[in-house]
Amino acid sequence: MKTNPIYCILTCTIILLSTSCKKDATTNDNSKPMSDNLLLKDFTGPYGGVPAFDKMKVDQVEPAVIEGIEQGLNDIEVIANNTDAPTFKNTIEAMERAGHSLDNVFTYYGIFSSNISSPEFRDVQSALAPKLSDYTSKINQNTKLFKRIKTVYEASLKNPLPADQQRVVELIYKRFEMNGAELDDAKKKRYAEINKELSTLYNKFGDNVLHDEENYITYLTKDQLDGLSDGFIKSAAKIATDNGKDGMYAITNTRSSMDPFLTYSTERELRKQVWTNYYSRGDNGDAYDNKALIAEILKLRRERVQLLGYSNYAEWRLQDRMAKTPENAMRLMEAVWPAAIARVKEEVADMQAVADAAGKNIEIAPWDYRFYAEKVRQKKYDLDSDEVKQYLQLDKLTQALFYTAGRLFNYKFTPVEEGKVPVFHEDVKVWEVTDLDSGKHIGLWYLDPFARPGKRSGAWATTYRSHTTFDGPKTVLASNNSNFVKAAPGEAVLISWDDAETFFHEFGHALHFFSSNVKYPTLNGGVRDYTEFQSQLLERWLSTDEVINQFLVHYKTGQPIPAALVSKIKKAATFNQGFATTEYLASALMDMKLHLADPTNIDIAKFETETLATLNMPEELPMRHRTPHFGHVFSGEGYATAYYGYMWADVLTSDASEAFKDAPDGFYDKALADKLVKYLFAPRNSMDPAEAYNLFRGRGAKIEALMRDRGFPVTTNN
């Protein structure tokens, strides 16, 4: 289960009308010549054009965005003031082309924001947030434009368009309706004001979390390294040296550093310090504390949806998701929660027994959970996670990704010669993606694997250009981004099994991008509680025999992972699912309950504490994302009241996995793989997700598959 991205698709803190792939140039009678600002220009060079990452500069961003806004609004005015009767071609297709130059800018903006952020860029980002909010509001509230959209939409209900065009019209109409297009002038004005206020708050929230990640580093001396692996120690030494602390060892305030330290360090007080630093991000009672911001965000979200006639934010947000209502989402989470916390109780008892047997006079605390879970794993399954890690080399796992893509999607990945495609950091590598049989170019895959200052935490996937055939075929520029700890020079980058699953997960998003067969840019979007399904499903190929036998080899000897060790890994597949499920579900439930609650005078710290108590949250572990650093939900709106979507998608994942297990050739069954690509990857958002899944499976997904997957009791049958 991947619930962290931490693990998932990159979303901006603003919602632009347009998507990431448009016509090569947008022109109309009122167009003004664009400046020579690099960020506004269409991509040039090989592979259908690539971003000029090697030439971009922070001081180009603000003028480029301002000019892009002007051009985008000009495009919209031309559409809105067209005197011809509204048609799909002159209204919807024209909108699909609008704002192209700003799309170009946001490719670079996303890199500055997520991969190489700096104080200088954060100042620019803060200045631009309200301007971009205004831009969005001016489009969503353009009365003439919406009148034309509504005319096309209503005509399509009487005389349906071709399926893909009908889907585009419905999605665009719904987006405008949900964002206040039919409000009166006074309510529109307030709606726009709220969006502007929220854009600033989202930006501040993210900056505060990044500040705490960059500034809370734990430095160790040589006598405080007991239990840590040689590779981890060497990496920690290099990070300390890079930070001017030569001779010491740095534990950074990111999951990729925190997690292995808490798992292996024997220094309990240091584990507590590292744990506290990590889970206190945004909650340190200083200028970077996020609790007051969250309270204000919740109030403004509630006020905004009430302008539209909804009682709460969750009700408004979920209407176009698979769940449809907050009640449906809660029903799923509450069905799994009792089994999850019951399993935690069993896990804690096992850990306490190990601690007692070792003569430790302690009660298991949150900073002990990973450490003693590892001890239990070794005792129950004779499985040492650090031993497994010796066979999980990042380079080999990258080859495993390519193998999987070749078997399922018929893709070939070929390294691009260094210097041929510009990159924004020396760590970034690029591969060309082609069809294995025909050699047809499909796109480029960028990989930015390592943690560094200025890079946001977690792992995510994004596109710099999406596939469409709207104005001629466009090939895909997709990127995967991780935060693995960079090894010392000459050392292999070794990662945990969980991190390897995350690597496959994010690659699943990339494959979703590459396999797109849609015509219109809007159809490359996704339904939030469905879009994680494809990536979660791809995790399952990591544990197939074909991947294990070929790519899991010892980083020193080159010997394949022993069959006995593989057997232990598979037997332990449901180990620690109490922890994994509970820490995730607690965050998902908190997200939903915060948005269902009355935000008037809400005390965030008190609400979090009382809600967890009501849920009977085990005190031995925290939420995966505590509220003050819950960036999925409060640095933008992509996952607000939608964090449950990982579990919704995991029901689909578990059910689809059972289909592969039952297929004649298992996870590499050609017929089923073809259906996987045809119905679950290639259509993107060109058809309703429930319909797409039914075409693949022949029925809807069943929650029992999820319960079986996690080793929880199955109590229902249908």
The pLDDT tens digits for 652-709 are: 999 999 999 999 999 999 999 999 999 999 999 999 999 999 999 999 999 999 999 9
| DSSP per-residue letters across 251-285 | E-SSHHHHHHHHHH---HHHHHHHHHHHHTTT-SS
> How far is 266 from 275, CA to CA, in rounded Å?
14
pLDDT band at 10 (very low <50, low <70, confident <90, very high): very low
Strand partners, 450: 484
Please report the pLDDT score of residue 149 as a whole number: 98
> How far is 206 from 225, CA to CA, in rounded Å?
32
pLDDT at 6 over 70: no
Task: Summarize the confidence of residues 97-106 as an average pLDDT.
Answer: 94
Task: Summarize the confidence of residues 228-246 as an average pLDDT.
Answer: 94
Give the H or E element holding residue 578. Answer: helix 577-596
pLDDT at 454 over 70: yes
Please give the share of the chain, as a percent, with pLDDT higher than 70: 95
Tokens of 621: 């572990």
> How far is 284 from 457, CA to CA, in rounded Å?
19
Please report the pLDDT score of residue 35 as a whole number: 81
pLDDT band at 488 (very low <50, low <70, confident <90, very high): confident
Please report the pLDDT score of residue 24 as a whole number: 32
Task: Summarize the confidence of residues 172-183 as an average pLDDT.
Answer: 94
Please report the pLDDT score of residue 715 as a whole number: 74
CB 468 within 8 A of CB 520: yes
- Percentages of the chain per state (helix, strand, coil), in multiples of 5: 55, 5, 35
Backbone angles phi, psi at 113, to 5 degrees: -75, -40
pLDDT at 5 over 50: no
Task: Summarize the confidence of residues 630-642 as an average pLDDT.
Answer: 93
pLDDT at 220 over 90: yes
Please report the pLDDT score of residue 304 as a whole number: 97
Please report the pLDDT score of residue 34 as a whole number: 66
Tell me: the pLDDT tens digits for 360-395? 999 999 999 999 999 999 999 998 888 999 999 999
> How far is 518 from 423, CA to CA, in rounded Å?
28
Tell me: the pLDDT tens digits for 401-443? 999 999 999 999 999 999 999 999 999 999 999 999 999 999 9
Please report the pLDDT score of residue 151 as a whole number: 98
Give the H or E element holding residue 476. Answer: strand 476-484
> How far is 97 from 23, CA to CA, in rounded Å?
6
Task: Summarize the confidence of residues 525-552 as an average pLDDT.
Answer: 93
Which 3 state secondary structure label does DSSP give 450? strand
Please report the pLDDT score of residue 53 as a whole number: 98
pLDDT at 214 over 80: yes
pLDDT band at 503 (very low <50, low <70, confident <90, very high): very high
CB under 8 Å to 476, separation ≥6 — which residues? 433, 442, 443, 444, 463, 465, 466, 467, 513, 514, 516
> Is pLDDT larger for residue 26 or for residue 100?
100
Ranking 13-17, 118-122, 326-330, 480-484 by mean pLDDT, the lowest is 13-17
Task: Summarize the confidence of residues 183-212 as an average pLDDT.
Answer: 95
Please report the pLDDT score of residue 528 as a whole number: 82
> How far is 545 from 560, CA to CA, in rounded Å?
12
Which 3 state secondary structure label does DSSP give 586? helix
Please report the pLDDT score of residue 526 as a whole number: 81
What's the mean pLDDT when you consider all of the chain?
92
CB 144 within 8 A of CB 77: no
Backbone angles phi, psi at 39, to 5 degrees: -70, -20
Which 3 state secondary structure label does DSSP give 337? helix
> How far is 347 from 288, CA to CA, in rounded Å?
35
